[in-house]
Amino acid sequence: MDVSLQPQTMVESVLQPPPVDTSPQPPSAIASLKPLSAQRSGSSNAALPSGEEKSDPPYPAIKEHPYQPDQTDFMTTQMVSTKTKRGFTVLKFQRQWFDKFGWLHCDVKSGKVFCHACITAITRGLVHLERDHETNFLIEGFCNWKKSMEKFKQHQASDLHELCILKLQAASQKPVTAQLSDHASKEQVNAQHALVKLITSMRYLATEGAALRGKENDGGKFRKLLDLRSEDDEDLRQFMKRTTNFTSHEIQNEILAIMSRQVLQNILRSVNEESKIFATIVDGTTDISGNEQECVCVRFIDKELGSERTSSDCTA
């Protein structure tokens, strides 16, 4: 072996870079290569290297409504002790704060409170969190009960909180077309309810043999009965104020004719299905105007022996 070549070989071995390991690294090793600021869960996006994809801040897990328990025992672990002349005063979370600040959300794991409205609006993409926005009620959480009222009011009056509230309200509202459709459907249901009241009132007067109209269209027992029933029914009262309220004499005659046909159909169905024997009686008389008034009566026995049904008042 040539000894003169050994120093040169040693120098080259020192100057050459070490071999690079191209084998795949485990996830733990890859994560350890990231900057320390990027490994922290609470680090800001500004600490990430350029070109690396940004991730959302670690917001607490929330549901549709804020968690506001009746028992706040878990809050006693996060206290603020203030030194006074008599010793130490222990401050705890107050349950009545939920009534004044409905957006408060309790996180049992950390023993802190967050803003449910702001977190909901940001996680839904309705509002984007800027660098100058306060994050005590979004990421870190709040547990300094000594300054609770001051900080609660300050956050509630902040621009971020007011913007989140407006965005959530706008997102929860239906489109104008849907609102108009719902309004029309509601009016239709109210009109149907009022029309049923009109028909039942007319049926009552007809079964009692009372005249529906008086000398004028606005008078008569029918209108008086509707006015009486509308005192206890708001839908009927609003319906009677409409221009078209289906109380004219033409509509009254049409509804009475429909009722008459329905009664005749029910009688004929009973005769055909329940009775094999029936009798008819026809009688008539001439009034002072010379018109012949005829009455047709049908007598039959149904399944219950001894009962009879008759129908009459047919004008010819």
Pair type for strands 104-107 and 292-300 = unpaired
Q: Examine the domain organization and report whether 241 and 194 are in the same domain.
A: yes
pLDDT at residue 186 greater than cutoff 90: no
| Per-residue pLDDT tens over the stretch 138-169 | 888 888 888 888 999 999 999 899 999 898 88
How far is the C-alpha of 52 from the C-alpha of 31, rounded, in Å? 13
**Which pTM was predicted?**
0.41
241-255 mean pLDDT: 85
The one-character DSSP state at 70 is S
Q: Examine the domain organization and report whether 149 and 237 are in the same domain.
A: no
Q: 68-99 burial, b if ≥16 CB within 10 A, otherwise e?
A: beeebeebeebeeeeeeeeeeeeeebeeebbe
| Per-residue pLDDT tens over the stretch 125-144 | 888 888 778 888 888 888 88
7 occurs within a structural domain: no
Q: Examine the domain organization and report whether 168 and 180 are in the same domain.
A: no
Single out the residue in 172, 199, 219 at which a domain terminates.
172
Q: Examine the domain organization and report whether 238 and 291 are in the same domain.
A: no
Supply the pLDDT for residue 229. Answer: 92
Residue 300's closest CA among 268, 259, 263, 262? 268
Q: What is the band of 302 on the pLDDT scale with cuts at 50, 70, 90?
A: confident
Q: Examine the domain organization and report whether 113 and 191 are in the same domain.
A: no
112 occurs within a structural domain: yes
> Which range of residues forms the domain containing residue 142?
73-172
Q: Examine the domain organization and report whether 82 and 162 are in the same domain.
A: yes
Q: Examine the domain organization and report whether 156 and 228 are in the same domain.
A: no
- In this structure, is the dihedral angle defined by the CA atoms of residues 58, 59, 64 and 66, taken in order, positive or negative? positive
- Please give the torsion angle defined by the CA atoms of residues 182, 184, 186 and 188, in that order, rounded to the nearest 10 degrees: -150
How far is the C-alpha of 117 from the C-alpha of 105, rounded, in Å? 9
> Hey, which residues does 82 pair with through a beta bridge?
89
pLDDT at residue 10 greater than cutoff 50: no
Q: Examine the domain organization and report whether 240 and 302 are in the same domain.
A: no
Looking at the structure of the chain, the number of domains it has is 3
Q: What is the band of 86 on the pLDDT scale with cuts at 50, 70, 90?
A: low
Q: Examine the domain organization and report whether 185 and 164 are in the same domain.
A: no
261 occurs within a structural domain: no
